[in-house]
Amino acid sequence: MGFAILLISIATPIRAQVKPSQSVPFPLQRYISKTNNLSGLHKTTATDPIHSLLGKIVKINAADTTWWLDKIDEQYISEGTLSDRYHTYYAYDDYGNSVIMLMERYNISDQTWENFERADMIYNSGNLLTEFTILTWDTILANWQKSTRISLSYTLHKDIAEEIYMIWDGVNWVRDERISVTYDNRNRMSSVTYQYWDAVSSGWINYYQLLISYNADDSEYYEIYQVWFLGTWFPMESYVEYKHNSFDRVDSTFSQYSNGYYWVRSNFATYSYEKDTLLRKVENENWDESTGIWFLSSRDLYSYTADTLSTGSTDAQTSKVSEILTQNWSGSWVDSYRWIYVYDANQNIFQEIYEAKDSGIWARGYIEEYHYTLTRPTDVPTPVEAPLTIPMQTKLYQNYPNPFNPSTTIEYELKQPLDVRLEVFDVAGRLVRTLVLSKQSQGRHSISFNANGLASGVYFYRLQAGELIQVRKMVLIK
């Protein structure tokens, strides 16, 4: 089912040391570990290349915000040897938005680098990601092939409202999945509903749902997962997060699942901090249904570049994570695996190293190296074809779908930052809607036009970008 991967899980909480141009968009969050209030760390749950690609659509800066993430090199163990595997390059627009990511894969047999995957991003006038398209490299045809497109819409508060996932069938973009998000009166997320497209009925079919609730002071956060079956939502799993200290940190979490008859306890985790803010330990217990008792399972121990106990620092957030060590309980705590983080002289994350303990010896699994530049990258190099660059033309595209009812998408490209006016007129030349009236960045832009309240008929949309004016026709059918 394409990208039906729910991120909101009971993963180890970590937060990237990043200063992105905007918050990480909701669809990409499913490729990043559940976050908490930690600083000094960039980490993803990359389990395959596309997750790694999408999980890093952020700009990583030093404290002075002058450094740009330019490239990530990844090395993995292959036949017992650590070898090159992937390169990922980044390009940004004038507003700091990542507009292109290109991933190259190392062909071990040919010992050459080759194009692998690419992501092209489109933002609206508010610098919110509205669309990104995943392309894969066809080694036979030696060109990029469309793969997946994700369109995003937002609420008035700039929170994600809907994601629509489409796959390319060789001719057209075909609907695949939809994720709809609702919020309560305090603008807190209250539900996330997953649906898939049924071509036979030409409609969206429910298949998964997450319900979220909070107590009065937000010290408890409750999730319940449901699946759609025979026209009814059935609860499958629940998760509760408790925040009991004065610094809004997680104190403990509790999860349980349904066996079809009653709720069965699953996991209980407790969090320990230094000076109330610096996470030092997460200890997990699992439930033994046969004995009716909790038993120790695993724990994560956090180390930092500066030990606040020895330095006496009261600002725990100035420390950066240097290691996360996972241990399993077997009568005593036994090392299992660890992540090591190395920083450069500018305090940017430079290396992420994963190691697992095998027969008492730490064996390296992968290394990621991060490279930065003071000059904003505007294109991504590739040894296979001409460099991919931010669009060098200003062009208005035909809306889609067309005819439409009641919503359609209008796209256009800007060859440079320009003052943009995008308007809709009826056949008599009367202005019926102003969609954009602002200065926008170089690159491709997309906006949704909802024609609720308008009569069926022919309409024209007009783009004025700088001194250039372009007009196209669209048809509303109700």
Q: Check whether residue 188 and residue 90 sit in a common domain.
A: yes
- In angstroms, the CA 171 to CA 446 distance is 21
In a domain, 102, yes or no: yes
CA contacts within 13 A on the Cβ side of 165:
20
Instruction: Please report whether residue 217 resides in a domain.
Output: no
pLDDT at 260 over 70: yes
Q: Which residue has the tokens 């004016």?
A: 469
Please determine, for residue 309, whether its predicted confidence score (pLDDT) is greater than 60: no
In a domain, 283, yes or no: no
Same domain, 189 and 123: yes
Record the tokens describing residue 375, joined without a space.
């000059």
Task: Check residue 8 and give its pLDDT.
Answer: 24
Which tokens go with 117?
């995957």
Q: What is the DSSP letter of 404?
A: B
Phi, psi of 318 (to 5 degrees): -80, -15
Is 448 within the bounds of a domain?
Answer: yes
Looking at the domain assignment, is residue 124 inside a domain?
A: yes
Looking at every residue in the chain, the average pLDDT score rounds to: 77
Report phi then psi at 342, rounded to 5.
Answer: -120, 140
Percent of the chain at pLDDT exceeding 90:
27
Residue 58's pLDDT is: 35
The Cα–Cα gap between 266 and 258 comes to: 10
Q: How far apart are CA 75 and CA 65, in angstroms?
A: 28
Give me the mean pLDDT over the 253-265 stretch.
Answer: 92
Q: How many domains does the chain have?
A: 2
Contact 11, 269 (CB under 8 A): no
Q: Look at residue 35 and tell me if it is in a domain.
A: yes
Rounded mean pLDDT, 233-261: 88
- Last residue of one domain, picked from the residues 361, 380, 399: 380
pLDDT at 44: 26
- Bridge partners (DSSP) of residue 189 are 183
- Phi and psi based region of residue 111 (left: phi greater than 0; alpha: psi -120 to 50; beta: remaining): left
- Asked if pLDDT for residue 10 goes beyond 60, the answer is no
- Of residues 63 and 83, the one with the higher pLDDT is 83
Mean pLDDT across 256-269:
92
353, 401: one domain:
no
User: Token pair for residue 36?
Assistant: 């908490």
Calculate what percentage of the chain has a pLDDT beyond 70. 79
Cis peptide before 49 (omega within 30 of 0): no
The domain spanning residue 402 has which CATH number? 2.60.40.3080
Mean pLDDT to the nearest integer, 142-166: 88
pLDDT tens per residue across span 362-375: 988 889 898 888 88
H and E: helices and strands count for the chain: 3, 29
Q: Give 132's strand partners.
A: 121, 150
Q: What is the pLDDT of residue 343?
A: 84
Are 355 and 462 in the same domain?
no
- Residue 249 in domain: no
From 359, 380, 401, give the residue that closes a domain.
380
Q: In residues, how long is the chain? A: 478
Q: Which tens digit of pLDDT belongs to each residue from 195-220?
A: 999 989 999 999 989 999 999 888 88
Check whether 359 has a pLDDT greater than 70.
yes
171 and 54 share one domain: yes
pLDDT at residue 284 above 90?
yes
Residue range 128-139: mean pLDDT, rounded: 84
Q: What is the mean pLDDT of residues 247-268?
A: 90
The Cα 232–Cα 235 span in angstroms is 10
Residue 288 scores a pLDDT above 90 = yes
**Whole-number pLDDT of residue 22:** 29
Q: Would you state the pLDDT for residue 424? A: 94
Confidence band of 398 (pLDDT split at 50, 70, 90)? confident
Predicted confidence band of residue 57 (pLDDT cuts 50, 70, 90): very low
Q: Are residues 370 and 395 in the same domain?
A: no
Pairing of strands 98-107, 81-92: antiparallel
Q: Round to whole Å and give the CA distance between 446 and 122.
A: 7
Residue 265 pLDDT exceeds 60: yes
Which comes out higher in pLDDT, residue 64 or 467? 467
pLDDT above 50 for 97:
yes
Domain span at residue 399?
391-476
Q: Which residue spans within 79-128 are E strands per DSSP?
A: 81-92, 98-107, 112-123
Same-domain status, 57 and 183: yes
- Same structural domain, 340 and 427: no
CA distances from 311 to 277, 290, 320, 334 (A): 16, 48, 14, 29
DSSP bridge pairs for 277: none
Average the pLDDT over 333-342 and give the result.
93
Alpha carbon distance 313, 321 (integer Å): 15
Task: Verify that 83 and 182 share a domain, yes or no.
Answer: yes
Is residue 328 domain-shared with residue 460, that is, in the same domain? no
pLDDT, residue 1, reads: 27
Please report, for the domain that includes residue 37, its CATH number: 2.40.128.720
* Cα separation values, 142 from 126, 136, 262, 273, Å: 36, 10, 55, 53
How confident is the model at residue 327, as a pLDDT?
Answer: 97
Question: Is 74 a residue whose pLDDT tops 50?
Answer: yes
Residue 374 within any structural domain of the chain: yes
Q: Are residues 448 and 324 in the same domain?
A: no
Choose one of 331, 350, 380: the last residue of a domain. Answer: 380
409 and 350, same domain (yes or no)? no
Question: What Å distances lie between residue 384 and 53, 139, 144, 378, 452, CA to CA?
Answer: 19, 10, 11, 18, 47
Query: Per-residue pLDDT for 437 more than 80?
Result: yes
